[in-house]
Amino acid sequence: MNQPEWYIILNPMAANGRAERVWPELAKLLKTSGMDYEMVKTQHRNHAKELVAEGTARGFYRIIAVGGDGINNEVINGIFLQKHIPTQQIEYTLIPMGTGNDWSRTHQIPTDYRRWIPQIKRAKKIKQDIGLLSYFKNSIREERYFANVAGLAYDGYLCKKMSEKKDFTNRIGFLWLILKELFEYELRLAKVTFDKVEIIDHFYTINIGICRYSGGGMQFVPHAIPDDGLLAVTVAGPLSKWSVMLNSWRFYNGTIPKHSLVKTFQTKEVVVDTVGELPTDVEVDGEYLGTTPVRCILLEKALTIRRP
Q: pLDDT tens digit string along 194-220?
A: 999 999 999 999 999 999 999 889 999
Burial class (CB in 10 A: 0-12, 13-18, 19+), 81: middle
- Residue 166 binned pLDDT confidence (cut-offs 50, 70, 90): low
Out of 106-120, 149-163, 288-302, least confident range: 149-163
Residue 101 has pLDDT above 60, yes or no: yes
Q: Which CATH class is domain 130-300?
A: mainly beta
Count the neighbouring beta carbons within 10 Å of the beta carbon of residue 299.
17
In tens, the pLDDT along 232-280 reads 999 999 988 888 888 888 989 999 999 999 999 999 999 999 998 899 9
The 10 Å Cβ neighbour count of residue 217 is 12
Question: From CA 269, how far away is CA 229, in angstroms rounded?
Answer: 11
CA 99, chain centre distance (Å)? 12
pLDDT at 26 over 80: yes
- The string of DSSP codes covering 201-232 is EEESEEEEESSS-BTTTB-S-TT--TTSS-EE
Distinct helix (H) and strand (E) counts, the chain: 10, 15
The alpha carbon of residue 304 and the mean position of all alpha carbons in its chain are separated, in whole angstroms, by: 16
Rounded CA-CA distance 261/57 in Å is 49
Mean pLDDT value of segment 2-9: 94
Give the pLDDT band (50/70/90) at residue 175.
low
pLDDT in tens, 57-94: 999 999 999 999 999 999 999 999 999 999 999 999 99
Query: In the prediction, which pLDDT does 246 show?
Result: 86
Tell me the one-letter amino acid at 252: Y
Give the pLDDT score at 162.
82
Q: How far is CA 91 from the centre of its chain?
A: 18
Q: Where does the pLDDT of residue 56 fall: very low under 50, low under 70, confident under 90, or very high at 90 and above?
A: very high
Cross-strand bridge partners of residue 199: 192
Report the distance separating Cα 94 and Cα 109, nearest Å: 8
The structural domains of the chain, with segments of one domain joined by +, span 6-122, 130-300
What is the pLDDT at residue 156? 95
Residue 176: per-residue pLDDT: 67
Q: Which fold has domain 6-122?
A: Rossmann fold (3.40.50)
pLDDT of residue 42: 98
Counting residues of the chain whose pLDDT is more than 70, the rounded percentage is 95
Pair 133, 291: CB distance under 8 Å: no
Q: In angstroms, how far apart are the furthest CA atoms of the chain?
A: 64
H-type helices in the chain, by residue range? Answer: 14-21, 23-32, 47-57, 69-81, 102-106, 113-116, 154-165, 171-182, 241-246, 249-253
